[in-house]
Structures are given as C-alpha cells and as structure tokens.
Amino acid sequence: MIPFNRPHLTGKELPNIQDAVATGKLSGNGKYTQLCHRYFQERYGFRHCLLTHSCTGALEMAALLLDIREGDEVIMPAFTFVSTSNAFVLRGARIVFADSRPDHPNMDESSLEHLITDRTRAIVVVHYGGAAVDMRAVMALAEKHGLLVVEDAAQAIDAWFKPEGARAAPLGGIGHLAAFSFHETKNIIAGEGGMLVVNDERFVARSEIIWEKGTNRSAFFRGQIDKYGWVDVGSSFLPSEVTAAFLYAQLMELEGIQARRIAIWQAYDERLSALQHRGWFTTPTLPAAATNNAHVYYLLCRDLETRTRLIQGLKEAGIMAVFHYQGLHRSPFYADRHDGRLLPHCDAYSDRLVRLPLFADLSLQEVERICATIEQLMG
Ligand SMILES: *Cc1c(COP(=O)(O)O)cnc(C)c1O
C-alpha cells in the first residue's frame, strides 16, 4: 500500500516536547512558540507572527482583524478549501467567488476587477500548491480600490513570488495578513497547527489581543502595562507549547524536508511528462513568477471519466490518489447564496485534477511504481 500522505517525523519532536514539559509551562506563548515566531520572522522577514491552532483559526483571526461585517463582500477563488470562505461567512460576509486561470488552478487575477463593488472589503488569495498568485497585480488592484488583502498561504511555506526585474518576496509576506497551515497533510506539520502573519503594522497590536481572548495579556507579560483585562473581542487561537515544540522540531529540518519533496516532485514530473503525448493527462505548469515548494503533484486528466478510471486503477494497485476541490460556488452550503456566475475553469479543475502521493518519506522506487502503474493504466 502507498498511502496518499504519511506524516514525516524528524526524530526531534519528542525530545522537544519532553523539554517543553520540563520547563513547566505547557499553555501557549512559551519558549517554543517564541522560537517558532522568531524562526519565521528571521527566515522570511515576516513583520509579526502568531502561531494558531490551525490555519482555519488564523483565517478567522484575519476576518476579525479586518472587521468584516454583515453584508461586506469578500472576493476569493471558488477553487479552495472551505476554511478560506467560512472564516468570512462567520462574520456575515457575502463571498464573491472568482474563477481559476485557464492554465493554473490559482484564481484568475485578470477577472478580479469586474467583481469589485462598493461593498467589497477584501481579496483573499490562495496560492494553490504553493504556487504564487500574481501578487503585484492583486496588491495594485487592492490599492486602487482601497481593499485589504489576505493570503491563504496554507500550502505555501517556503515559496516565493519572483516577478521579473523585482526582488523575490516570500509568500505570506506580501498581503496585509496571511495564514499558514501545519496540518499533517502540509509540508511542515504539527498535527493540527497554523500561523497568522501580520505584515501591516496597523494590525499588530490588535492581533495579539484577538489571539489572547480579547485581553491585552501579551503586552502585560512583556511588562508594557501593569494589569491586563478584557479590551476587545477575541478567542483562544493559541496552540499549546506541546504543539509548538513539535513544530519547532520540523522547522529545524525544513531545508531537508523541502529538498526531499522537490526531488520526488521532479522524479514524478520527468517520468510523467514523457507520457503526456498519449493525450490522457497533462502535467502541471507553474505561473511565471512562482517557485515550486513541492506541496502537491497533480495531473490534469482529459475528463472526469479518465480521472475516475485512473483513481480506481491506482487504488486496485494499492496506491491512494485523491482529487479536490469541489468548487465552493457549487457546494451544498453556498450554491443558493452564490450569485449564479458560471466558473468553468474552476469546474474543470474540480472534475479533472488528481493528486498523487507526495510525502518526504516516499521513496523514489515507490514513485517509479506509481508512474509505471499510471503508464499501464493510461496506455
Ligand atoms: C489546509 C488548508 C486550510 C486549512 O488548514 P487547517 O490548518 O487544517 O485549518 C485552509 N486553506 C487551504 C488552501 C488549505 O490547503
């Protein structure tokens, strides 16, 4: 059996957790939380980082920080995970879904301006598979219309936006706010875990308050105020030190994990690109200014029937391949609320995209077995 995902462990997770236990402080914002924050701030230059219990939680913090209210409109791709949308729906927002690009599952930047109305407050971008959305176009549009930008960077750790003739910028470091995931299916994991990145100074102080149940406890512990209390809305978004200690072990191995994943991605791509001429599927292309963080390896099948046959054939050979996403504009929850626009490119990815197993401990022999099975099935 080759599973779709198997969590990779570095071996340092348990010693770190043991150390966290020994410090006698297991709730949030202790030694390991701060080590993780510092790691991200130093490696990527993020302005302010706050670990959360999930990326879903970080997105909910973003919606609170942007002060999204009943009737506000938020633009985001339909081809994404439910949390991108739910976080804003919880605040009463109306979601205006954008279609995907014809050449990539990311949202089509050129389609966004038509979607802006006088109720639009924010654009949420999703870097699908860690591939950068054209952030220069999105930020320019946001500035022109006075909108805020949140990056759903759940899949985008260690990935960059590298437009020609400009400096590379790390994904998650460009929008006003950004959210990362450390769920066990992502590149760097903590079981469940996430992080809010605050790149805009205006949101820094309030982000700590929302993080700490609406209190100014963080400032109190830094000795900046002499008592703390309830000063705003908030919730409990912090992970415990157990989670942070686990995550820190992973971060210490980030380069090795990324190198392994990229080698696997390239092995797939070399072998499978040579089979494209048969006409059953195509291999992924990256948008011009994107780097590859090897979060997903997917094929785009000719049609739904071909994908069904491929997934079934792989399953019979003991190989688990999966598809996603079903466009949120057609979801049971949102179909009635959607404004009815057709999103044909999103629908095409929903029907035709299949993800192959990709995890750091997948051996190149296993990759070859998967590719040989695909070669047989798609003869
Ligand atoms: C995984 C994922 C999420 C949710 O992450 P959690 O940490 O599981 O809450 C949100 N958005 C996207 C695009 C994702 O891939």
Which atom of ligand 1 approaches the CA of 128 most closely?
13
Q: Is 189 in the pocket of ligand 1 (CB under 6 A)?
A: no
Is beta strand 94-98 parallel, antiparallel or unpaired with respect to 73-77? parallel
Q: Is 36 in the pocket of ligand 1 (CB under 6 A)?
A: no
Q: Is 215 in the pocket of ligand 1 (CB under 6 A)?
A: no
In Å, what is the CA distance from 44 to each residue of 14, 49, 83? 26, 11, 25
Phi, psi of 123 (to 5 degrees): -120, 130
Structure tokens at 192: 């469940």
Instruction: Find out whether 249 and 13 touch, Cβ atoms under 8 Å.
Output: yes
What pLDDT is recorded for position 221? 87
Q: Is 152 in the pocket of ligand 1 (CB under 6 A)?
A: yes
Give the C-alpha separation, 356 to 343, whole Å: 25
Compute how many other C-beta atoms are within 10 angstroms of the C-beta atom of residue 65. 22
Which atom of ligand 1 approaches the CA of 126 most closely?
13
Among 56, 61, 293, which residue has the most ligand 1 atoms within 8 Å of its CB, making it the best to mutate? 56
* Look-up of token digits 């992970």: 239
Instruction: Find out whether 251 and 2 touch, Cβ atoms under 8 Å.
Output: no
Question: What domains are there in the chain, each with its CATH number?
Answer: 13-251 (3.40.640.10), 254-377 (3.90.1150.10)
Among 60, 81, 86, 293, which residue has the most ligand 1 atoms within 8 Å of its CB, making it the best to mutate? 81
Q: Is 99 in the pocket of ligand 1 (CB under 6 A)?
A: no
Residue of 206, 249, 245 whose CA lies nearest to 34: 245
Residue 59 Cα, ligand 1 centroid: separation in angstroms? 9
**Ligand 1, atom 2: nearest CA belongs to which residue?**
154
Q: Is 130 in the pocket of ligand 1 (CB under 6 A)?
A: no
What pLDDT is recorded for position 340? 96
Compute how many other C-beta atoms are within 10 angstroms of the C-beta atom of residue 282. 15
What pLDDT is recorded for position 75? 98
How is the beta sheet containing 281-282 ordered, strand by strand? 281-282, 298-301, 353-355
Q: Give the type of residue at 290.
A: A
Q: Is 350 in the pocket of ligand 1 (CB under 6 A)?
A: no
Which atom of ligand 1 approaches the CA of 83 most closely?
10
Q: Give the type of residue at 161.
A: F
Asked whether the bond before 325 is cis by omega within 30 degrees of 0, the reply is yes
Sequence-ordered strand ranges (E) for the chain = 48-52, 73-77, 94-98, 100-101, 104-107, 120-126, 148-152, 160-161, 169-170, 177-181, 194-198, 281-282, 298-301, 353-355
Give the C-alpha separation, 81 to 86, whole Å: 9
pLDDT in tens, the chain (379 residues): 999 999 999 999 999 999 999 999 999 999 999 999 999 999 999 999 999 999 999 999 999 999 999 999 999 999 999 999 999 999 999 999 999 999 999 999 999 999 999 999 999 999 999 999 999 999 999 999 999 999 999 999 999 999 998 899 999 999 999 999 999 999 999 999 999 999 999 999 999 999 999 999 989 888 999 988 999 999 999 999 999 999 999 999 999 999 999 999 999 999 999 999 999 999 999 999 999 999 999 999 999 999 999 999 999 999 999 998 999 999 999 999 999 999 999 999 999 999 999 999 999 999 999 999 999 999 8
What pLDDT is recorded for position 371? 98
Residue 96 Cα, ligand 1 centroid: separation in angstroms? 19
Q: Is 81 in the pocket of ligand 1 (CB under 6 A)?
A: yes
334-363 in b/e burial notation, b at 16+ Cβ within 10 A? Answer: beeebeeeebebbbbbbbbbbbbbbbbebe
Residue 114 burial (10 A CB sphere; 0-12, 13-18, 19+): exposed
